[in-house]
Chain A
Amino acid sequence: MKFILKTIAYIVFFLTMILILLPKENLYYMGQNKLENFKVELTQDIIDESNFGLTLGMLKIKYDNIEVANISKFDITTYLLSTKIDIKNIIVDNAFTKFVPQGIKFLSISHSILDPLKIHISSKFSLGSLSGNIDILNRVIKLNLTVSKSFRSKYRQIVRSLKRVQKKDKKEEYYSYEYKF
């Protein structure tokens, strides 16, 4: 028993040290270069490395030299048991407003070792909110959107591609989206 506890302590310590000492900024640069092969260009004004994460400020995303989105803060934090990505204030270029709602205030993507087969997503935007998950095993993305009336009239194209679901009490309704990849 003592041996098992000792081994667990050594593994936890070793992994924690690896996480702290990882050159996160350089790993981001590597990711930047890899994405360029897919014509995706990332540029940021602020880059801040912490013990367990990396924060990017004023991140610009370009695809094929066209500015797609601006993000005020992109924060990735990883601990031994969970990893979380918090994205604040996503401004999508006007050209894409037909497909993506404007004014995304917050987007959170998280993964925990306690639920290893699912990646959880939640978001808040000016005219509604979103929650859902990515099922890694079945390769399915499931999203539930709760939207306001103005969202329905403004983003008809998006609403049309969603399935309308009524809650059991029939007072509230939400839209669901499912995609297999």
Chain B
Amino acid sequence: MNINFNQIIKVFTPFLILFLIAYLLTSILYIYLPKKPKINIEQVSYNVEYAKYKLYKNFQEKSVKQKIKPKKKIQAEYKLISNIILKAIYSTQSNGGWIIISENSSSKTYILSIGDTFKNYKLKLIYNNYVIFTKDNKEYKLAIKADNKKANYTIKNIENETPINNQITQSDNEFTIERKLINNYSQNISKIWKEINIQDYKIDGKLNGFKIRSIASKSIFHSLGLKKGDIIKKVNNIDLKSYSNAFSIYKKLNNTTNLNFTILRNNEEVELEYEIK
């Protein structure tokens, strides 16, 4: 078999030349392109975190703040827990141990220790005469009776039992917001949008704050003293001149100890100040 090398070279030479041209072009491009990603070193902010310092307070007698204790909601009935009979408790000193329960409808008994779940009720604590179950953020207290015929039970809500107004307290002309309330909002932004409707406030086409279009009457914003038509200009001394400023305030909410609003109300600048505890 005769191999015509001349013919093969003739066919492949143009491809080789094209490959070299492509290689040359991409190499030139490579020279001009960045070789490594730009490493962004996070800029350390030298701005002092906004906080209210009250030096004069050190020279004053400390006043005792009276907190209004929220009333515990007790519901009278609950089907399943009422059907459980607490037969025996074996408790330790550290509220541990195990219990024996049975259902009214059957003679079957169950042994539970702390952390065990019975029909979605989680056993939380064991005391000498009663035990605490939890389910759906509610606590269920089940007590033992001497005759073992019927157990006492009470139910209380673990969360959301404190109205917003009770979580914002006032003493010595100072307003205090409970940290729990702030955290609740910072972790759930959709809750904020449900309770307040804001709109960009622009001067000469530039963002210069946010105008409140509406506020829900039972919301934290209403309790904080914000009103419909207010223009929020600053929060914690940060001008709301960009969306990023607004979001950076929102992101820092969990760690901030003071909340300060500078608002424009009826063309007058008003300051609202709160301490978060």
Contacts and interface: CB of A to CB of B under 8 A. Distances in A.
A30 B33 contact: yes
Given A29-B37, A97-B189, A23 B251 contact: no
Nearest to A26: B33
Contacts, number: 69
Interface stretch (A61-69, A83-91, A118-126, A172-180): A61-69
Contacts of A82: none
Nearest to B187: A94
Given A17-B19, A95-B250, A23 B244 contact: no
A10 B26 CA distance: 17
Given A17-B19, A36-B38, A95 B189 contact: yes
Contact of B18 (A17, A23, A26): A17
A22 interface: yes
Q: SS class of chain A's interface: helix, strand, loop or mixed?
A: helix
A102 to B, nearest CB: 10
Interface residues of A, number: 27
Nearest to A9: B15
Contacts of A14: 18, 21-22
Q: SS class of chain B's interface: helix, strand, loop or mixed?
A: helix
B50 interface: no
A98 B30 contact: no
A26 B28 CA distance: 12
Given A10-B14, A94-B189, A66 B248 contact: yes
Interface in B1-29: 14-15, 18-19, 21-23, 25-26, 29
B34 interface: yes
Contacts of A114: none
Nearest to B11: A6
A98 B190 contact: yes
B195 to A, nearest CB: 13
A13 B15 contact: yes
Contacts of B242: 64
A27 B15 CA distance: 26
B267 interface: no
A33 interface: yes
Nearest to B22: A17
A32 B190 CA distance: 32
Contact of A26 (B30, B189, B250): B30
Interface in B229-264: 242-244, 247-248, 250-251
Given A13-B18, A17-B18, A23-B29, A66 B251 contact: yes
Contacts of A97: 189-190
Contacts of A36: 38
Contacts of B251: 66, 95
Interface in A52-76: 63-66
Contacts of B243: 64
Interface in B75-102: none
B207 to A, nearest CB: 13
A63 to B, nearest CB: 7
A80 interface: no
Q: Which 10 A-B pairs have the closest CB atoms?
A: A64-B244, A26-B33, A17-B22, A21-B26, A29-B34, A23-B30, A14-B18, A66-B247, A18-B22, A98-B193
